[in-house]
Structure 1
Amino acid sequence: MKVIRNYLYNAGYQLLLVILPLVTATYISRVLTKTGVGINAYTNSIITYFILFGSLGINLYGNRQIAYQRENKLEMSRTFWEITILRVVTVVLAYLAFFIYLPFSNYPTLMIFQSINLLAVVLDISWLYMGLEDFKKTVTRNTLVKIISLIAIFVFVKNKNDLGIYIIILGLGALLGNLTLWPFLKEIIVKVPLKKLHPLKHIRPSVMLFVPQIAVSVYVVLNKTMLGKMTSTVNSGYYNNADTIIKTVLALATATGTVMLPHVANAFANGQKEKINRMLYDSFDFISFLTFAMMFGLAGLSLHLGPYFYGTGFGPVGGAMLLETPVIVLIGWSNAIGTQYLLPTNHTREYTTSVIVGAIVNIILNFPLIYFWGLSGAMIATVFSEVCVTGYQLWTIRKLVSYRKLFQNVGKYLVAGIVMFIPVFKINNTVHTSVFSIFAEVVLGAVIYITVILFLKPTILDKSKKIFKENKNKNEK
């Protein structure tokens, strides 16, 4: 039940991280206009490169190392301080690189505002709590800060000239959110003499996880950068808005990765290989159940949802969303295999190779596809890249797991998704789009999907009943 509780905490928080910007997006897209939204997406994509260098793969690495050592408080504390010192050094180096770049930027003032997000990286110790599987602290504290940021946006961002204020609010929100995690350290970490700390030993394993993070950023960041350079910053905004909605629904599935990584890492440290495979099968099945519903449901709504949500001037967002929806399933699967299996079981090389392959494919396809088809080309390149990532990861685990157990219910979820998509898509393209129509279509889609699932009877139903029964018996005791 601890895993389920942590999943609900993290799923809720990950959803919040995307929903709050999504809530503000309807307001921001109208206040800052498509030009301001595009410039923000473009400048944010640039600062993300420096953030990645400053982070140096530490979040994933730190999460895993804390999970390995959490039974030994002294060793865990030593690891925490060593990784923290390493992060301070890498962020300082990232800032030096940033100030070298700054004179060459088209938006130097806005880039300085965006750099607040880089400063926030120094204070980010969420990896400690994730390794300890203590998600409640990170969720409750950061939720409060995010809500305050949301209120600040509505209060202080009034017209298209307030783009800088908007960027500052988002940056300060990240900074304060990370700062709120530090007061709890005295309950968890002990002091370690400075002479016993050796932060440099963590460089190599961190860099090994830094490489895949750089590659992963291609899908999220490089597409916006290349669209801004090859077409216009307006297309960067369209891409960002479409991707934001996709990532909103995807957050429910990928939240399992953050929760399961320390759980699997701890099981790996204790030599429980059968338990690890069993957790992968269950997690993969759960993610498939969610993502097929999300993919077909969002595809049915996409053409009119995007333009209606963001307002006048954002028509291309709908078509971009429709093209991108397959990544919901693909990223869900690669999250289960990569983050929940390969990384915690020390198959870092295989994980790194998979995302590098995806990055290379993305870059190669971006040039011709963006040149000929612009925004649509970037979306197609993104989907093909995710196909390569997931395909390679599946190939690497072919001798470690049973494909039959992994995909035993996928066909049923696919059928349920298609049956749901047809009426939702037809209604969405027939009736006038409104809040009521979108809500009605979502409810209709959910009812159809669940009905078909109940008819086809995948094994997830029996597992759900078992968990519910165990929880009920526990509560009665």
Structure 2
Amino acid sequence: MKKMTTNYIFVLLYQLLLIITPIFTMPYVIRVLMPENVGVEAYVSSIVQIFTAFAALGMGDYGRKVIASVKHKQDLKVEFYSLYLVQSFFSVIVLMMYLIFTFYTEQYQMLFLINILVILSYVFDITWFYTGQENMKNIMIRNMVVRLGSMLGIFCFVNGPDDLAIYVWINAATLLLGQLVTWLPLLRNLKGFAFDGAKARMHLKPVMTVAIVPIITLIPLALNKVILGNVTSALDVGFYNQAFKLMTLFVVFVTALSTVMSPRMVKQHNSAKKEDFERSTYFSFRYVALSTLPLVTGLIAIAPLFIPLFLGNAFQPSVLNLQILAPALFFSGLVGIFGLQILVTTGKNKSYAFSVFIAAFISLGTNFALIQSLGSYGTAIAYVVFTVMTCVLQAFFARKYFSIKKMIRQISPYIVASFIAYLFEAGTMYILTGIPSIIIIAIQIAVGGSIYFGTLLLFRDPLLLKGWKILQSKIFRKTFEER
């Protein structure tokens, strides 16, 4: 339990850093590069993302599960290199295809050339090894340093609209550097190479099954944006993409939870510890509801003031985009539980892939139906449809491992508390006029947070009560030691 808590803290710190750095850099970059260049960067990135999905192969989810299942240390080296052999084979092929695409592309060719570093970073990505080992400390500390270096580089070298290529290079180079530094402790610990062709072939089929998920996910994540850019303009892509980035920034708590819980649940499932597995599942439901629902209502409430303040008045269309996208935070959290923590853990890879496949094509149809009349708002609706449908389908396939009635009973207090908090947050904006937006937003957050946690305390929420007891015990112990 102590190891899991330590891992969670380091993952959460890194994820919080992912929030903090854009809060500093995004307003600066948007004002320096201008909305048109921001839209171009978003358009290029969405195409690059198509190649990275093929390069990643879904190895993160499958590799983490396999590494977590290794019981003897002597088998670890063979298992790792067998998995990496599969990953490197496909990612190098994707790299070659990307090079061909780049040399035959005339528009934005320089930006595509720079993004070769992004494809290379996926060739060397072994994050799944550390998460499977439940050893996140080293990798997170190294990535924190690299991330801070990236932020410093942006402020030092990106000074005008002509520096778009420099901005893309800084992001791509630091991503690659972050992957390369994770190899140093691994090579030191494993000491040598151990390839097993038979094991690699054994991993091939399940890897390809899981790989369908990130490839199909390209439809709501990247292809819909490419379609938006072709039907409307790169500027419209920029409006949507900035709202999407802001929404995904706040998924940190869920990301940290899934990263830490998945390996632990693999061990619980393999050891036939049914009660522990169920306890972990229901804990995840509560945690996702606790952490995402107030963010959903909070983002909807503060978006009208926050977007102009944070991104500038030129990004006014991003307000409604963010409000539409906000509910996807909660459904993405549930998808992490149903998909990664249950279906992948229990070996139901086909059900996992099928649910994403169906949801993605429903999302694509929604995008085509709405994009002509609604523009970026249609793409935002299509993404929410994707998360909702994925959640519903995966819940159906995972129904054997949880009770829907118990889940609803557990998350309902958080729904009520979030709705009450939203009413106060929205009311605050209408009552307070004539004062700076940043002060109104701060008051909205303070009022909303107080109402939310106060309501949960009235409900005697077990997570809050447990956290309060832990805090009390630590304060008491510290006071006792000082005496």
TM-score, structure 2 as length reference: 0.93
Q: Over aligned residue pairs, what C-alpha RMSD do you find?
A: 2.1
Structure 2 counterpart of 1:437: 440
Q: Alignment identity in percent?
A: 28
* Alignment match, 2:297: 296
1:415 maps onto 2:430 in alignment: no
What corresponds to 1:80 in structure 2? Answer: 80
- Secondary structure of 1:32 counterpart: helix
1:359 is aligned to 360
Give the total of aligned pairs. Answer: 476
In 1, Cα distance between equivalents of 2:338 and 2:387: 13
The residue matched to 2:409 in structure 1 has which SS? coil
For residue 465 of structure 1, report the CA deviation from its aligned partner: 5.0
Q: Which amino acid aligns with 2:352?
A: Y
Partner amino acid for 1:274?
A: E
Q: Which residue is equivalent to 2:219?
A: 218
* 1:410-438 deviations in Å (ceiling 9; x for gaps): 22111111111112123335535533322
Cα separation, 2, equivalents of 1:202 and 1:398: 27
- The Cα shift of 1:115 comes to 1.9
Are 2:451 and 1:451 aligned?
A: no
State whether residues 36 and 160 of structure 1, in contact with CA within 8 Å, keep that contact through their aligned partners in structure 2: yes
When residues 469 and 267 of structure 1 are mapped into structure 2, their CA distance, relative to the original with a 3 A threshold, is farther
Q: Secondary structure at the match of 1:120?
A: helix
1:279 CA drift (Å): 0.3
With the length of structure 1 as denominator, give the TM-score of the two structures.
0.94
What are the superposed Cα offsets for residues 165-210 of structure 1, whole Å, 9 maximum, x if unpaired? 0000001110111111111114532434446674333221111111
Alignment of 1:169-248 (within 5 A): 169-194=170-195, 198-248=199-249
Change (3 A) 1:43 1:22: farther
CA contact (8 A) 1:334 1:389 kept: yes
Query: In the alignment, what sits opposite 1:249?
Result: 250
How far apart are residue 390 of structure 1 and its match? 0.8
Q: Give 2:320's aligned residue.
A: 319
Native 8 Å contact 2:78 2:195 kept in 1: no
Identify the residue that residue 90 of structure 1 maps to in structure 2: 90
Q: Structure 1 residues 158, 12: closer, same or farther in 2, change over 3 A?
A: same
- Distance, in Å, in 2 between the alignment partners of 1:139 and 1:217 is 26
What is the distance in 1 between the residues matched to 2:463 and 2:7?
Answer: 19
| Residue 259, structure 1, aligned to residue 260, structure 2 | yes
**In structure 2, distance between residues paired with 1:261 and 1:15:** 20
Secondary structure in 2 aligned to 1:271? coil
Question: CA shift at 1:107, angstroms?
Answer: 1.4
Counterparts of 1:225 and 1:68, CA distance in 2: 39
Indicate how the Cα distance of structure 1 residues 448 and 194 shifts in structure 2: closer, same or farther if over 3 A, else same: closer
Q: Pairwise mapping of residues 84-163 of structure 1 onto structure 2 (< 5 A)?
A: 84-102=84-102, 103-104=104-105, 106-163=107-164
After superposition, the Cα gap between the structure-2 partners of 1:196 and 1:411, relative to the gap in structure 1 and judged at 3 Å, is closer
In structure 2, distance between residues paired with 1:141 and 1:132:
17
C-alpha distance in structure 1 between counterparts of 2:48 and 2:91, whole Å: 12
Change (3 A) 1:324 1:425: same
The equivalent residue for 1:373 is 374
Show the counterpart of 2:400: 399
Question: Where in structure 2 are there 5+ consecutive unaligned residues?
Answer: none
- For structure 1, the residue ranges without an aligned partner over 5 or more in a row are none
Aligned partners of 1:105, 1:48: CA distance in 2, in Å? 19
Is the 1:308–1:433 contact (alpha carbons within 8 Å) kept by the matching residues of 2? no
Please give the per-residue CA displacement for 1:304-362, whole angstroms capped at 9, x wherever unaligned: 21122111311111111111111111111111221122111212122112211210111
The superposition leaves residues 256-308 of structure 1 with CA deviations (integer Å, 9 ceiling, x where unpaired) of 11111111112122221221111000111111111111111111101221122
Measure the CA separation in 1 of the matches of 2:194 and 2:352.
35
Corresponding residue number in structure 2 for 1:11: 12
Q: CA, structure 1 residues 106+183, in 2 after alignment: closer, same or farther (shift >3 Å)?
A: same
Q: How many angstroms does 1:473 deviate by?
A: 9.8
Deviation readout 1:442-472 (Å, 9 max, x if unpaired): 1111111011111122333444356557878
* CA gap 1:244/1:19 in 2 versus in 1, 3 angstroms: farther
Q: Is the 8 A contact 1:330 1:386 kept in 2?
A: yes
Question: Closer, same or farther in 2 for the Cα pair 1:166/1:284, shift >3 Å?
Answer: same
The C-alpha deviation readout for 1:355-378, integer Å capped at 9, x for no partner, is 112101110100011111001111
Instruction: Tell me if structure 2 keeps the 8 A contact 1:73–1:189.
Output: no
Change over 3 Å in CA distance of 1:217–1:408 after alignment to 2 = same
Q: Aligned equivalents of 2:465 and 2:20: distance in 1?
A: 32
Distance 1:195 1:249 in 2: 41
Alpha-carbon contact 2:78-2:196 (below 8 Å) kept: no
- Between the aligned partners of 2:363 and 2:148, the Cα distance in structure 1 is 35
1:345 aligns to what SS in structure 2?
A: coil
Assess if the C-alpha contact under 8 Å between 1:34 and 1:234 holds in 2.
yes
Kept after mapping to 2: 8 A contact 1:257/1:339: yes
Q: Which amino acid aligns with 2:441?
A: I
Separation of aligned partners in 2, 1:343 and 1:105: 41
Provide the C-alpha distance between the structure 2 equivalents of 1:164 and 1:361, rounded to a whole number of angstroms: 35
For residues 186 and 94 of structure 1, what CA distance do their matches in structure 2 show?
25
In 1: Cα distance, 2:39 partner to 2:338 partner: 34
Distance in 2 (CA, whole Å) between partners of 1:19 and 1:220 is 23
Q: Distance in 2 between matches of 1:195 and 1:349?
A: 26
User: 1:246, 1:325 within 8 Å by CA — same for their partners in 2?
Assistant: yes
Q: 1:93 to 1:186 in 2, by over 3 A?
A: closer
Amino acid at match of 1:179: L
**Partners in 2 of 1:347 and 1:474 — Cα distance?**
45
* Counterpart in the other structure of 2:169: 168
Asked if the contact 1:18/1:247 (under 8 Å) is kept, the reply is no
Letter in 2 for 1:460: L
Report the 3-state secondary structure (helix = DSSP H, G, I; strand = E; otherwise coil) of the residue aligned with 1:41.
helix
